[in-house]
Amino acid sequence: MSGWLDALERLAGSRAKAGLTRQLRPRPAADFVVDLAGNDYLGLSAHPQVIEGSARFLDAYGLGATGSRLVRGSTEAHAALESSLAEWMGAPAALVFSSGYLANIAAVRGLTTVCDLIVSDAYNHASLIDGCKISGTRTIVAPHNDPAGVAAILDAHPGQTALVVTESVFSVDGDLAPLAELHRVTSARGALLLVDDAHALGILGPRGAGGVAAAGLAGLDDVIVTVTLSKSLGGAGGVIAGPPQFIRHLIDTGRTFIYDTALPPAIVGGVQAAVSIARAADDRRALLSSRAAQIVSRLSAAGFAVVPPAAAVLSVPAPGPEAAVAWAADCRDRGVAVGCFRPPSTPDGTSRLRLTLNAGVPDAAFAHALDVIVECAP
């Protein structure tokens, strides 16, 4: 075996000893597992109107976009979705990417054209962290959800134009960032605020417009928002929303926009239908709120340290990575899918199950899933 393959085998062995081996588990179309692991919060991925919307554009445009957005990949469907998303989120303009990961990288890189310092929350998603690294801009990691800590960092660097980067609802533990307080800190110091609103869109704010809208910050010219279309909207893709000048800058210079094949029109059509449903889905949001209370009550009564979720994500600490893997596997064997998060996916080095709420799961199945989680605990 070649030397570099030997090196990879040694690294794989080290990961296995630490309980950090990961596996792909392809699922069939007829999957009867109760889903408390995915991100389909509003249960729209298989909604008949969403399927119909996707099928209609599949028939009209074919399977793929056939090129990048600037070559042949932009369709009337893309433009309509961008308009709908901007109006829903209360933003002046929006730009659709093929994934949320690429949108986050583009947002950070694009903003560092005019910023020379990044202040990044310690618990930010990997895509934001990678955007900071790729930008080459000096990055200081701020304590998690600590506006005073952010203020101290900014005050220690006078004369520098800064970009503060955070999520609204954090993807591992599901806690909510103090966005209004953060904006008071950034606006007072001439800094920009970038918010990844992926886990809040469709759940929080008026008509589900997101965490930024819920905090009263929608449409401000010093707040830029990214979201994914793969969570509450049940599809795929990413979006950057903000001032039209910034959107223009991204179209002209954003490498993950310019050089990437566009999101397929069939996905765009399905997501457009999902947006219409999500905006009127107060009943589904109420169901998620009720289930959040139910899951906290059930797990707390069983002795687990859980915090009421801000949206639809909740974590349950595990004794270690091996215990988390075994817990998740036992749940799966009994027909319940749960997330298993271990380092390096967990910023504090603590392993846990991540549970997500899905309005499409029937009440009886949800109650059964909670019983299974408790009974399978290590």
DSSP state letters, 221-270: TTEEEEEESSSTT-S--EEEEE-HHHHHHHHHH-HHHHTSBPPPHHHHHH
Instruction: Specify the residue for token string 């309005």.
Output: 359
Residues 310, 220: one domain?
A: no
Share of residues in the chain with pLDDT > 90 (%): 89
Share of residues in the chain with pLDDT > 70 (%): 99
pLDDT of residue 22: 84
Can you give the CATH number for the domain in which 130 is found?
3.40.640.10
Q: What is the DSSP letter of 207?
A: G
| Phi-psi group of 158: left, alpha or beta (phi > 0 → left; psi -120 to 50 → alpha; rest → beta) | beta
Among 224, 257, 279, the domain boundary falls at 279
Among 279, 312, 345, the domain boundary falls at 279
Among 233, 260, 279, the domain boundary falls at 279
Residues 212, 352: one domain?
A: no
Instruction: Specify the residue for token string 């469709």.
Output: 202
* Structural domain containing residue 155: 48-279
Does a structural domain hold residue 20?
no
pLDDT of residue 118: 98
Instruction: Specify the residue for token string 């790729």.
Output: 134
Residue 198 has pLDDT above 80, yes or no: yes
User: What six digits make up the tokens of 129?
Assistant: 């962290």
Q: How many domains does the chain have?
A: 2
User: Could you tell me the strand order of the sheet in which 93-97 lies?
Assistant: 93-97, 238-242, 223-228, 192-196, 162-167, 117-121, 139-142
pLDDT of residue 232: 98
pLDDT of residue 1: 60
Kindly state the average pLDDT of the residues 145-154: 98
Residues 337, 198: one domain?
A: no
Does a structural domain hold residue 17?
no
* Residue 24 burial by Cβ neighbours in a 10 Å radius (0-12, 13-18, 19+): exposed
Residues 233, 171: one domain?
A: yes
Does a structural domain hold residue 3?
no
Residues 175, 297: one domain?
A: no
pLDDT tens digits, 126-139: 999 999 999 999 99
* Residue 308 burial by Cβ neighbours in a 10 Å radius (0-12, 13-18, 19+): middle
Of the CA atoms within 13 Å of residue 41, those in its CB half-sphere come to 32
Kindly state the average pLDDT of the residues 145-157: 98
Kindly state the average pLDDT of the residues 76-91: 98
Residue 3 has pLDDT above 80, yes or no: yes
Q: pTM here?
A: 0.95
pLDDT of residue 31: 83
Kindly state the average pLDDT of the residues 317-336: 93
pLDDT of residue 376: 96
Active site residues: 39, 125, 167, 171, 196, 199, 231
Does a structural domain hold residue 333?
yes
Q: How far is CA 281 from CA 80, 113, 137, 323, in A?
A: 21, 38, 41, 37
Q: Are 182 and 319 in contact (CB under 8 A)?
A: no
Instruction: Please name the helix (run of DSSP H) or strand (run of DSSP E) that holds residue 105, with its range, or none.
Output: helix 100-111
| Of residues 2 and 116, more confidently modeled | 116
For residue 36, the cross-strand partners are: 338
Residues 229, 359: one domain?
A: no
pLDDT band at 349 (very low <50, low <70, confident <90, very high): confident
pLDDT band at 69 (very low <50, low <70, confident <90, very high): very high
Residues 244, 304: one domain?
A: no
| Of residues 351 and 249, more confidently modeled | 249
